[in-house]
Structure 1
């Protein structure tokens, strides 16, 4: 049929209390299925035998409103529950609707599997597996959802819980976008057997307005782990929103661990990530791998314990870790009157930035135990400072109120100042070859042909890049005549040829070695350099001397 609509009705398959044998399956194959007003599709066993499965195949939509699709092992049943399978384009559960699989007897609960090509939407509804208090089970009942968009609103939930003698189921979600809002949650809790884990694979993940992922233990078993394999961004916003793998008060199990690896993580407005232990067990570990990590407006990353070893926090941030407005990263252990060592915090980030007066802290403190160790490797940390105790400023602390303080290690990768430099040739410049030996030789009617040689003194670049710059030495001007008096031009002319019968030998032509100035200001080149005393002997030019008194 194109459409199957069931209202206020029950379709079931059951093994009754006196029955021996397996129950049959409940199957629906249609284009669209609508279940309304308390309708039930179910399979169960209350006798000796396995319950049958429930299967829905709808090529277009499945809409379940105030109705239930379930598989159960009842309290007196001896056998396993059947699986619940839904295959469709779009699945919606509204107004208390439920997909469920449970066991209260001696047997395992069945699996729930949803494949929806477009969307799965839950509003004030649930998808759940449960091992109840009277049950004995040895296999977990899993929940598997594959879709394009998964959205939970208005106290909706996806849960895999156990309070009986058996492990909680695992939850596996595979979607392009996952949105959890309005106090909705995805959880795996245990009060008896091992806690279940939650694994989300998506392109983006958002939890807001109290939406959260939770694994917890209230007994002696450990809480399960949370893994978010998100390709792009994770956004946690609002009080009560976040990722939590905690233990309850009076429990003895350890907290679970949390691992996420997106490109970007934003935690804000009171949201957080925590592996806290409120009982006797140790806190779990948190590991985040991201390009950027932003904590803003009372956001927190916490691995705290009430009395045992604090959990460890590892943050590998390729670019920027930003902490604003009372944000917190904490691996604190113990309370007043209780022991426990603080956990370790390891941060690897290119830059860590906070604001000094905004009271954003990184702490690994303890009360009676030893403070934890904080190790930070970064190119630069700004706005936060290490202090022995917490202050109203932005602090980094690893202290213990009554025990030994922890340690803080800051590693700054060395930057080689010589990297990227070009190797210079080893051949030295011949300075004497560049400067003429006879600086006063006349060329083109000018001394030295109008060339000049200037000494600026010491200073400039250091001998190598690892040394500081050398301050420039003071410069002393060359001695020169008064600029207010015009300097007559140097006249070079041929000596007149005269017939002097008394001169028997020719006068040899020699290179000028000096010059003198006549009374009328004419400069006359001479064959011998006059002997004078320079005004500044240390800076006099060789071979060029100022005449005395000029």
Structure 2
């Protein structure tokens, strides 16, 4: 009969140790199952000669579709159907693989190898714990399965076109997996086969690798790692490549706790990465700690990388990304962390090489807290003709910092720009392809210590480099840019500049409060013939530039390009303090235009500047226009608003305000606070001031439509007696007649007329009170005595009243 499956069980209490050839011959390329619940060890000399799939497990039984089991303790089955699961015992043993079999001409060890290069075989290890200590598992074009599970668990088995797929949906507890000492999981082939690791904590270290290389027209299958923790250290790597027309394998990392990657040092990591970008050659013996996909010599697209974990921690020269060296596109990178992403001196990237025509992949980071530190680069780069990838960030809090005491010119961007390495998030083109765009959504954004957000284009390497990308940043609460990089003058910055003949990108910021201070800047300038970009800022409350903080769309050097436009709308105030600047100035070309609006005040203090001056190097460019709209405009301590020119015409300044304080309109700059629009050799510009538009009805409270009748609200007390007369007994300082001046300023007011004609001022003498029979009388008034004391009296003395009041006269008697 035709043998399709060989099942070998080991009874007793001993582990199985194999350090030679394990063969299966005859039959119809049968699969081989080896089970020993006590443990299995493959030595360095172990070799498989198995034509079909091979599965080694420390399970206690193999389960079948009809409900039967093949157990290490039960009776022997005479015939079996396709296996459907593995049943682990109460104490599943571990599996160790140290097999390093390396055929002649192979660049890597193959170790335990199944099949002959077909695509229908699986090699799998399922144990209580699985350790590959220098050993290799290889299924060329087939499936590689490694699982570590806990006691009394069940692992499903599903027959597929590539052998057997392990199913962990009914598995509730897991054990650890370790790959070390150069261990290798390899499913490379015409189309790389699927690789699946499932465990609790998975460690890949000491140059151990997971490799899925596609070499032909078949798309590679996914590499999937599912665990609580995944740790990559000491040049551990997960790689997917394509050198054929088929797409490279995706890498999917699904973690319930954390991903931690630790490199071998920032310097070595960056140098290795630079060499890789320059040559496109992957040296498997000198890798950085990395999770990477790339395409080498064909039109195949590099695989995507998808990461899901609560915490992501990249440290000390580790890298995570995708690159293309050919016509194929680089893959996208997606990081989703439910708690935090931290990258310290590490690299998250997608890019295209100088010989590539494919496009770069996108980078998407989604997390509540994003921290990039100490030279970390999150970037997409273009060296070829394809467009660079985009970057999208969705986070509650974003911080870019650099606390290193010294910095060097290490790194991809540093070596090309001759600038020290810095913490950077950016899209950059050094080739003819267009730089990618950046879109950031957050609640708070802090950029300090010379860190940078950039979308730049460089023309030093290739003439006519592509244009810069767009930067869009939305922060619902605040954005703060502060400080410079250690040992350098490199500022913390948002930068959409160009150093080529192509245009710079545009930059848009939307927030509640924007602060730029201590040398930080936002710029979309040009350092060559390309046009500057534009800057648009919408702040619902304040925009504050302090202590050399700067906003600029300048065209500097020998560049003939024009300055870019800057538009700022601040709901409350726009403040420039301590040598702060907003400029769109040029050396040769026309100055850019500035449009500034503040809801309450535009304030300039201590040497601050607003300028669209053109032709500073003697050029003929015209000064740019400045439009300002603010209720109050104030400038003090040699602060200026300038739209001057050298040989061209001065710009026009249009101001709409209620009042200008401190600033004066002058024909030229002085040591005072100036508003000028002059030209040294051209026509002066104009300065126009418009009265701020006010709505007289603004703020009024609308009354009820029907007014009440006040006639019934007058107190009728005086009508109670006599002829109901009302007599005023005091004038409160009113002059006797309207045409007479008021008397001296007497406070409190006193009536100096004789009042005896108004009423009888005779006061009856008080009654004599018998000392022997005193009667307490209620006080009805008070008096101010000459010594200032207050006395309560039964009848007030009007001579000493401080505030006479209008009173009802005594009733007249017939």
Residue equivalent to 2:574 = 321
In the alignment, the residues of structure 1 paired with residue 758 and residue 202 of structure 2 have an alpha-carbon distance, to the nearest angstrom, of: 120
- Residue 21 of structure 1 and its aligned partner are, at CA, apart by 2.9
In the alignment, the residues of structure 2 paired with residue 64 and residue 312 of structure 1 have an alpha-carbon distance, to the nearest angstrom, of: 43
Retained in 2: the 8 A contact 1:363–1:398?
Answer: no
In the alignment, the residues of structure 1 paired with residue 543 and residue 728 of structure 2 have an alpha-carbon distance, to the nearest angstrom, of: 69
- Is residue 2:31 matched to residue 1:31? no
Seen in structure 2, the aligned counterparts of structure 1 residues 422 and 40 have a Cα distance that, compared at 3 Å, is closer
- Residue 351 of structure 1 and its aligned partner are, at CA, apart by 3.2
Residue equivalent to 1:302 = 552
Retained in 1: the 8 A contact 2:603–2:634?
Answer: yes
Retained in 2: the 8 A contact 1:370–1:404?
Answer: no
Residue equivalent to 1:467 = none
Instruction: Map 1:223-238; keep pairs closer than 5 Å.
Output: 223-238=468-483
Instruction: Map 1:270-309; keep pairs closer than 5 Å.
Output: 270-290=519-539, 291-306=541-556, 307-309=560-562
The count of corresponding residues between Structure 1 and Structure 2 is 439
Retained in 2: the 8 A contact 1:287–1:314?
Answer: yes
Give the TM-score of the pair, scaled to structure 2: 0.51
- Is residue 2:694 matched to residue 1:415? yes
Residue equivalent to 2:367 = 147
Seen in structure 2, the aligned counterparts of structure 1 residues 408 and 84 have a Cα distance that, compared at 3 Å, is farther
Unaligned runs of 5+ in 2: 1-198, 264-288, 403-421, 485-490, 640-662, 704-721, 745-752, 760-814
Instruction: Map 1:153-168; keep pairs closer than 5 Å.
Output: 153-168=373-388
Matched residue of 2:572: which SS?
strand
CA RMSD of aligned residues (A): 3.0
- Is residue 2:308 matched to residue 1:72? no
Residue equivalent to 2:775 = none
Residue equivalent to 2:399 = 179
Superimposed CA distance per residue, residues 136-169 of structure 1 (whole angstroms, 9 cap, x where no aligned partner) = 12x4410001001000010001001101010011
Superimposed CA distance per residue, residues 181-234 of structure 1 (whole angstroms, 9 cap, x where no aligned partner) = 113110101131111111100000010001110011124322111111110000
Matched residue of 1:176: which SS?
strand
Matched residue of 1:165: which SS?
coil
- Residue 20 of structure 1 and its aligned partner are, at CA, apart by 4.0
- Residue 51 of structure 1 and its aligned partner are, at CA, apart by 1.2
- Residue 418 of structure 1 and its aligned partner are, at CA, apart by 7.0
Seen in structure 2, the aligned counterparts of structure 1 residues 398 and 166 have a Cα distance that, compared at 3 Å, is farther
Unaligned runs of 5+ in 1: 424-442, 459-472, 478-485, 493-550
Residue equivalent to 2:325 = 104
Residue equivalent to 1:543 = none
- Residue 78 of structure 1 and its aligned partner are, at CA, apart by 2.5
- Residue 352 of structure 1 and its aligned partner are, at CA, apart by 3.3
Give the TM-score of the pair, scaled to structure 1: 0.74
Residue equivalent to 1:11 = 210
In the alignment, the residues of structure 2 paired with residue 132 and residue 96 of structure 1 have an alpha-carbon distance, to the nearest angstrom, of: 21
Superimposed CA distance per residue, residues 386-442 of structure 1 (whole angstroms, 9 cap, x where no aligned partner) = 54444455554445554444444444423356764999xxxxxxxxxxxxxxxxxxx
In the alignment, the residues of structure 2 paired with residue 245 and residue 407 of structure 1 have an alpha-carbon distance, to the nearest angstrom, of: 31
Retained in 1: the 8 A contact 2:735–2:742?
Answer: no
Matched residue of 1:194: which SS?
coil
In the alignment, the residues of structure 1 paired with residue 369 and residue 527 of structure 2 have an alpha-carbon distance, to the nearest angstrom, of: 35
Residue equivalent to 1:195 = 435
Higher relative contact order (CA 8 A, sep 6+): 1
Retained in 1: the 8 A contact 2:357–2:386?
Answer: yes
In the alignment, the residues of structure 1 paired with residue 728 and residue 364 of structure 2 have an alpha-carbon distance, to the nearest angstrom, of: 93
- Is residue 2:477 matched to residue 1:222? no
